[in-house]
Chains A and B, each alone.
Chain A
Amino acid sequence: MRCDDVIRELANPTEGRDPIELAYHLAHCKVCARKADQSIRLEQIWEATRPSDPPAETWDRIWDRVRGRLEGLPDASHSRPPRWFRLSSRNVARARSWGTVAAIGIVGVSQAAAVMLAFGLSWKSPYSTPPTGVEIRRTDAPMVVQTLSPTGHDPTVEIDEGQVVLIKTEGSQIQVIDLSSGEPADNVDRWYLAFNDVESMANPVVAMAE
């Protein structure tokens, strides 16, 4: 999955979502992991500071007050919406723009809520760590792991999890070299980031500002 896919998937999960792949990406992509962390912290702050919902009596009082004001209006305007609800022609354009802003806000808030929910779920998911049990063979120096000679049919190269393989062809021989070199000190898989870079290179995203 690309970073864009991960963020989109977290913002708006699809039915075909693969939690293992998602967790794998978050475990290897520092940028997305940081975003996930920030979202979780934001969610925690929101949970800790959000105002409590007003009690039912408060709502009743508000509606009573609104009803009282509506009933107190003159007959001529009784069938019309209250003054604060009406739009003068002068304010129609402004109201439209505010309506658009409000709509964008609603969409943004709903998307943000979905992102926070998705991050929260993935954080607590049993798939939060990449699947284990696969032996990852790494060496300090590049190592030839297979030498294949074509025998009439195309050879098959097997790559294990964690290997970075270079298939080197010289004449009729194929050498398979493992370039991976141990766990990185900062726990960031540079080859995985390189994969993201190559993918972005192939499908560049153009950012536009108004």
Chain B
Amino acid sequence: MTTQPDADSLLVDRIRRGETQAWDDLIARYEGRLLAFVESRLGRRGPSEDIVQESFLGFLNSLPNYDGRRPLESYLFSICAYKLTDHLRREGRRPAVPLSSASDTSGDWQVSDSARQASSIARSGERKELEIKAITEALAEQIDRWREKAEWTKLMCAELLFVRGWANKDVAEHLDITEQQVANYKFDFIARLRTLVKRQDLSEEVFPELYEDEAES
């Protein structure tokens, strides 16, 4: 990950106290990467700078609700992605999706739907966070292990299978390994995650892709 947690959390504390120098520092630290993110999609400097500006405002608006445990860079990118999506919708480039979710990309800077019952949101949210935390820790541990051993092929294989959703055959071809090797890596990886789900007493139903093979057989 690309964050400096301690430095960032100190910076956010100072911004919460209203220190303008800290706000200036945050802008200096992050505006370049946010601008590159937006401009790569819009291709125009002026509107891209406007979106970055809106994102900084969105960050200040959401500051009372910002959970300092969340990496600051990822949080800023999420706000920026949301503002960019909104801009693209207004321009007619991005079609609206029916039955839109109370999207995870909108986060805390969106006004929450007062019609939903707070208790049910809090309960399901807590449970969901716990599940995400457990899988995140297991994945991070596995990825660190591959990195330490320089097992780059295994890391690439898992990333193509799960992050990009490629088929075994395409992964094998791209990495110049056999389909059997891909299947073996995948099997081991899924087995580890299943063990974790069981050990932590998480619901199998909320991780359907880990049990697809069982459902098919």
A and B physically associate: no
The residues of B with any CB-CB pair to A shorter than 8 Å are: none
Residues of chain A having any CB pair with chain B under 8 Å: none
